[in-house]
Amino acid sequence: MRRSETEDGERTAEARGDAERAGAGRAWVRGSHGPHGPRRPRALMTVAMCLCVTLVVGMVSAVNLAIPDLSAGTLHPSAEAVVWVVDGYVVVFACLLVPAGALADRRGRKGTLLCGMGVFAAGSVVCAAAPGVGALIAGRMISGVGAAAVLPTTLALLVEGLPDGPRRKAIAIWASMTGLAAVLGNVGGGAAIEYGTWRTLFWAVVPPALGALLLAAAVTPVTARHPRPAAPLGSALLTGGFLALLYGIVSGPQAGWGSPAVLGALAVAAVLLAAWARHGLRAAEPLLDPRLFARPGVRAGAVGMAALFTGMFGLFYLNGQYLQYAKGYGPLGAGVRLLPMAAALLAGPRCGLLLERVCGRRGTVVVGMFVLAGGLGTVSAADARTPYALYALGAGLTALGCGIATPLLSHAMMAALPADRAGTGSGLQSLARELGSALGIAVTGTITTAVFTARLPASLSGPGRPTTVAAAEARTPDGRVRAAVVDAFTDGLHMATLGLAAGVVLAALLIARWIPKETVTRDGGKGR
């Protein structure tokens, strides 16, 4: 009896502390005055968080514009190495998101954010000075560690202490920036490469990263820490399991699905993830409780965002290569021609709000996913002779669909979790997004390379055949052969985008069954 009374007292005290912290957060949002003077405007913190998000997400797409320059440079990477240059960052980013979000909840969100930005900048320096492909991939992974600490923490800081209405608006802004950053990364990356090399891209990101760190240090408040254990075993099992899984997925097509390395990686992934689930079910304070996935909002949000970003970032992997190889634009010209995607991403949430009034949340999410799949289907028809306007339409529809569905899926997941798990919740949804991004890049790169190498002209086929467009073009001065090389690449683009579109449609059918319907409450508002 005494133990029960003590536990009840502890829970009551914790609930009282949470209420006090929430009240303090609401007061800070209103711009009230505290004992140390006026609170900093929330708008400045929103700017700082958006700048951090833009940098860490933008570097995924910015590197895609560097693929032609990198492939033709002195490092001479293979197609598999190019995928890992892009995906090495995303894989580490994805695998450490949930541990980083949980660490921020337990050890302080502001400190975690600042450390993450510092590590991200350091990794960019390693990439810029890399003497070989291995060092370049290592630098990308270091940056991925920092990015994992940044992304979930920014959302948790933005929603701290907000009531439902402003909370939804903050989530929508954050979700829009994560998509918009990918397009802005194309323009910034294209400009850096146009007037320099791929190394210039990494040097150029260091000053704004340090600037974002200083701004965040100045305007971000110190939030309460939640006194829970850091769950190192759960973190290790989850991270190791996903690393092994993604290694198997990325390496399978090149090494062979039946190779010992791939089979071993998939077996290790299965064992580690099963051990993580068992540990989470038994632990008093798990890193990520597997029972959360029994909640329809969490399950729908995770699967839906993974599918959306598989399609989005699969297309991002192809955009720069298509516009440079097939259409002949320079890096900056290619980046500028992707700006319609930014406009579509900005319009997406507004269109989603209008559609929600007519179709409801479930219908709007499904419509958004179908629009994205339709955009990928439109892109699949592109070749070297396709007008840019048609390609821009397909890319714009892809971005519009992502913009429509992402905020609603994000809110469904965050609303299904308790307030004191904001960091873990945002880490979970970021995990779904980045795993989708990593999978999209890996699958797209694999399919495109397989079709490309299979359809190369006879003079370039056989043992030792090139695996990148740049390597193939370097081997022949014949204009007709070079045109055939580009056609082989666009054949790969066709197969990859059709596969991505089919995957998004299948996911949309699952989401239609899982996502909770909204109900009308007595006061006329909407509930879950």
Query: What is d(CA 101, CA 413) in angstroms, rounded to the nearest whole number?
Result: 15
Q: Tell me what the mean pLDDT of segment 187-205 comes to.
A: 91
Number of domains in the chain: 2
CA 340 to chain centre: 20
Lowest mean pLDDT of 146-150, 247-251, 326-330, 434-438, name the range.
247-251
- The answer to the question of residue 25 being in a domain is no
Query: Model confidence over 11-30: pLDDT tens digits?
Result: 444 444 444 344 444 434 44
Query: Model confidence over 84-97: pLDDT tens digits?
Result: 898 889 888 887 87
Is pLDDT of 521 > 70?
A: no
Q: Tell me what the mean pLDDT of segment 96-120 comes to.
A: 84
Query: What is d(CA 30, CA 42) in angstroms, rounded to the nearest whole number?
Result: 8
Looking at residue 20, what is its pLDDT?
39
- The answer to the question of residue 15 being in a domain is no
- The answer to the question of residue 474 being in a domain is yes
Query: Model confidence over 379-415: pLDDT tens digits?
Result: 999 999 999 999 999 999 999 999 999 888 887 787 7
Over the chain, what is the mean pLDDT? 81
Query: Model confidence over 292-302: pLDDT tens digits?
Result: 777 877 888 88
- The answer to the question of residue 528 being in a domain is no
Instruction: For residues 410 and 393, state if they share a domain.
Output: yes
Looking at per-residue pLDDT, the higher value among 336 and 176 belongs to 336
Residues in contact with 179: Cβ distance below 8 Å, sequence separation at least 6, in sequence order: 312, 345, 348, 399, 402, 403, 406
Looking at residue 263, what is its pLDDT?
92
Confidence class for position 48, pLDDT limits 50, 70, 90: confident
Confidence class for position 138, pLDDT limits 50, 70, 90: very high
Looking at residue 421, what is its pLDDT?
65
In order, the DSSP letters of 330-392 are: -HHHHHHTTHHHHHHHHHHHHHHHHHHHHHHHHHHHHHHHHHHHHHHHHHTT--TTS-HHHHH
Instruction: For residues 491 and 382, state if they share a domain.
Output: yes
Q: What is the CATH number of the domain that holds 77?
A: 1.20.1250.20
Q: Tell me what the mean pLDDT of segment 280-284 comes to.
A: 80
Confidence class for position 34, pLDDT limits 50, 70, 90: very low
Looking at residue 419, what is its pLDDT?
65
Query: What is d(CA 30, CA 259) in angstroms, rounded to the nearest whole number?
Result: 59
Q: How far apart are the first and last CA of the chain?
A: 37
Helix 198-219 crosses helix 164-194 at what angle (to 10 degrees)? 150
Instruction: For residues 124 and 267, state if they share a domain.
Output: no
User: In the structure, how many helices (H) and strands (E) does the chain have?
Assistant: 18, 4
Looking at residue 473, what is its pLDDT?
83
- The answer to the question of residue 10 being in a domain is no
Instruction: For residues 260 and 391, state if they share a domain.
Output: no
Q: Tell me what the mean pLDDT of segment 413-429 comes to.
A: 68
Instruction: For residues 263 and 401, state if they share a domain.
Output: no
Confidence class for position 254, pLDDT limits 50, 70, 90: low
Looking at residue 422, what is its pLDDT?
61
Instruction: For residues 244 and 345, state if they share a domain.
Output: no
**pTM assigned to the model:** 0.80
Looking at per-residue pLDDT, the higher value among 148 and 159 belongs to 148
Rounded to whole angstroms, what are the CA distances from 346 to 292, 340, 400?
31, 10, 8
Query: Model confidence over 289-331: pLDDT tens digits?
Result: 777 777 877 888 889 999 999 999 999 899 989 999 999 999 9
Instruction: For residues 275 and 358, state if they share a domain.
Output: no
Instruction: For residues 370 and 310, state if they share a domain.
Output: yes
Domain range for residue 268? 232-284
Instruction: For residues 186 and 166, state if they share a domain.
Output: yes
Instruction: For residues 240 and 373, state if they share a domain.
Output: no
Is pLDDT of 7 > 50?
A: no
- The answer to the question of residue 330 being in a domain is yes
Instruction: For residues 268 and 323, state if they share a domain.
Output: no
With 0-12 / 13-18 / 19 or more C-beta atoms within 10 angstroms meaning exposed / middle / buried, residue 236 is middle
Instruction: For residues 268 and 208, state if they share a domain.
Output: no
Query: What is d(CA 360, CA 356) in angstroms, rounded to the nearest whole number?
Result: 4
DSSP state of 459: G
- The answer to the question of residue 326 being in a domain is yes
- The answer to the question of residue 22 being in a domain is no
Lowest mean pLDDT of 33-47, 126-140, 205-219, name the range.
33-47
**Cβ neighbour number for residue 320 with a 10 Å cutoff:** 27
Q: Tell me what the mean pLDDT of segment 236-262 comes to.
A: 78
Is pLDDT of 427 > 90?
A: no
Looking at residue 425, what is its pLDDT?
66
Query: What is d(CA 147, CA 116) in angstroms, rounded to the nearest whole number?
Result: 6
Query: What is d(CA 232, CA 219) in angstroms, rounded to the nearest whole number?
Result: 31
Looking at residue 227, what is its pLDDT?
58
Q: Tell me what the mean pLDDT of segment 68-81 comes to.
A: 87
